[in-house]
Structure 1
Amino acid sequence: MAPLLSRIDIYILRKAAVPLLSTVVITAALLLLERMLRLFDFVVNENGPIDIVWQMLAHLVPHYMGMAIPVGLFLGALLAFRGLSLSSELDGMMASGAGLTRLIRPIMILAFFLSIVEFGLLGYLQPYSRYEYRQLDFELRSGALGASIDVGDFVTLSDGLLLRVGSTRDGGRELLDIFLKRNVGTAEEISATAKRGAFYATDNDQTVLLRLFDGRLIDFDTDKIKPRVLSFEAQDIVINLPAVEEFRRRGGEELETTLTELHQALNGGESDPVMLARFRSSYHWRIVNILTLLVIPFVAVPLGLANKRTGAAGGLVAGLAGLIVFNELLEAGERKVAFDGTSPLMALWVLLFLYAAIGAVLFATSVLRPGRGVAGAIDRVVDFVVMPLRVLVRMLKGDGT
């Protein structure tokens, strides 16, 4: 029994793997870096713990991975065949009887595997990660994650408690030089100072314990002649936490709903026409994006067949531009289905059929006329358009020397 992958298949996959993985990692990292800066600013303004930023970024990874995989597959397939073409290895493979229809097989296997990954990301992992992200966002805004106490500032807590901390140590877990004041009644006030203290959790999730060490407490009561002064080695103060509204259940919108749940909603599980339109748009948009991965190789491989004489990269430019335009049209089509009631067949599936038709024409003409089909014509047109820019760059370099 012949193996599923021959040496040629493995070689082509190795050629495609490096640009694919590099594109996915770099794209996701850049998107996460851009979001990280905004999250740090948001968390600091909400007085939340800094480590929550890493949790929120982790929940964004599936979203950005879903965006990066199609681009990574496109560049991986295109650059793999471009490298084979420029090094004349592709000519040797074709001379041995392996045409494009045979050489594209490992790329199709890779595309099929990535479509399964995309199915898991878009269909199931992203809805859960998006919900977890928004839950953390809600808890930060509502104060459920706790508020930081700024050193040197007077902070008002619950039950009329005023607290000031002079400094901290051990990563903020130990408080130093503490002053607090609490109004017990209309005519009684308690003030206290302590050298150090710390917050501790209790069995009741609605309270927290502030334990003070080496301090002095002063009880001001107007009914008494003079205030009562008490020195203590340890004193516990129970602080009631503010009531926090619970976050809603998952599924409040279409982006938090899995493909299975969307399918159930479209088959009688949802009666609201507004939500039904949004569920329909999300369901078809995800399916179209998953199937797009199976079309990308037929566009990328022909555009990667470079002219060895000029080494022009017109196919790369045209292919990336086309993929960006295609994704933007899909986003617009999804909005049309969700808010205008347009049929998914007209707004989304037609775009996939057109993209597949373009891929079929590019691939078929490249098989019949290698280097001289539609892909070759696109390469020459782009090269002709950018030629004046190349001439200008050479002239500027000449003037600079």
Structure 2
Amino acid sequence: MPRPTARPALAAAAVALLSAFPAVPAQAAGAHRAAPGCATPPAPDRPVAETPWPQRRYAPQRLAALASGAGVTVGVIDSGVDRRHPQLAGRVDAGADFLDPGGDGSGDCAGHGTGVASIIAAEPRVGVAFQGLAPGARILPVRVSEQQVVEGRESGRTVSAVDFARAIRWAVDHGADVVNLSVVLYTDDPAVRAAVGYAVARDVVVVAAAGNLHDGGDPRPYPAAYDGVLGVGAIGPDGRRADFSQTGPYVDLVAPGGEVLMAAPGQGHRRAEGTSYAAPFVAATAALVRQYRPELTAAQVTRQILATVDPAPGDGSGGGYGAGVLNPYRAVTETGAGPQGPARRAVALAAGEADPALAARQARRAAARDRAVVVAAVAGAAVAGTALLAVVLPRGGRRRWRPAA
């Protein structure tokens, strides 16, 4: 059986989460290895065969024929991602470790990042109903914390806010098309704000958890509150805002975040709750849209997601639902969405650094766009030819002639 539901520290802690510890150098270029052994290794979990409620809501099999997130890289800046899990094997790239120098982001002592990554990209497997919403996407893990809850208390190291900002920039520079930030600071740090602006300026969709401190007075959460970021609140299986999910203008939309099933480090599955786990549903949707509509910019992807949400239950008052409830299928399939995106304007903060991934990413999207144009032209010609035959052949029959063999 999965462990009891837990609301993890990464999206519930105060500013100390990312600023109480000294800075740690980032990994050396070209060095790739797992993090050292965990002081408190995560307990093993068993596989869960039953269908989790978010999948009953979103029916990923309907999306599979349209998009899987293939060709899109999602940066998961978190506690690391365990690539040994059977549903993540072969889907996790070599990343970076800003907590232990030289690591590649594949060590996960908290289980948090592995769970987040699995909601995005876990591979379907026989006998297991759980799968990621964008199973064709690549995961780029960037490790910034090993914090977990031990005997009811938060325990473990985290990086400084400055290194958290460096981690965001690293993910952008190494090809992330979408960045998932299931971490929360409750102070406006200029380095983090500039790093988010760096990502927005380089056409990256940035998704962040809106925080779990509703009972604590809804302190303003960052990066969710920054311009250009999709701030995500949580709903439970009943479709209503989870009682812990924060409310405020920084909530742009909501997604499943209560009693969510996810992969556990090593193997098996577990359930947990928090806006941490609502954010990756939105990040996965962004990956689906980026594959299906490669011509869209990050800002347009954001507008598309917000314009295709489902209405919030009741009157949705109180700022807890934002624009409404995430609907991945509508986000992928609907065109000509009307609303112009979140009320918070998206700003690009110039940073001046070189961007080695930008040219490659733009070339990839240009190639995909060219392929889409060719396919559309061929399809259009086929339709026109069929229509012409439908008109000409009956007339030819009346004139007693047939097309040449």
TM > 0.5 between the two? no
Greater C-alpha Rg? 1
Coarse TM-score class (shorter-chain normalised): under 0.3
Which structure dedicates a bigger proportion of its chain to helix?
1
Greater RCO, 1 or 2 (C-alpha within 8 Å, sep 6+): 2
Q: How high is the TM-score relative to the length of structure 1?
A: 0.22
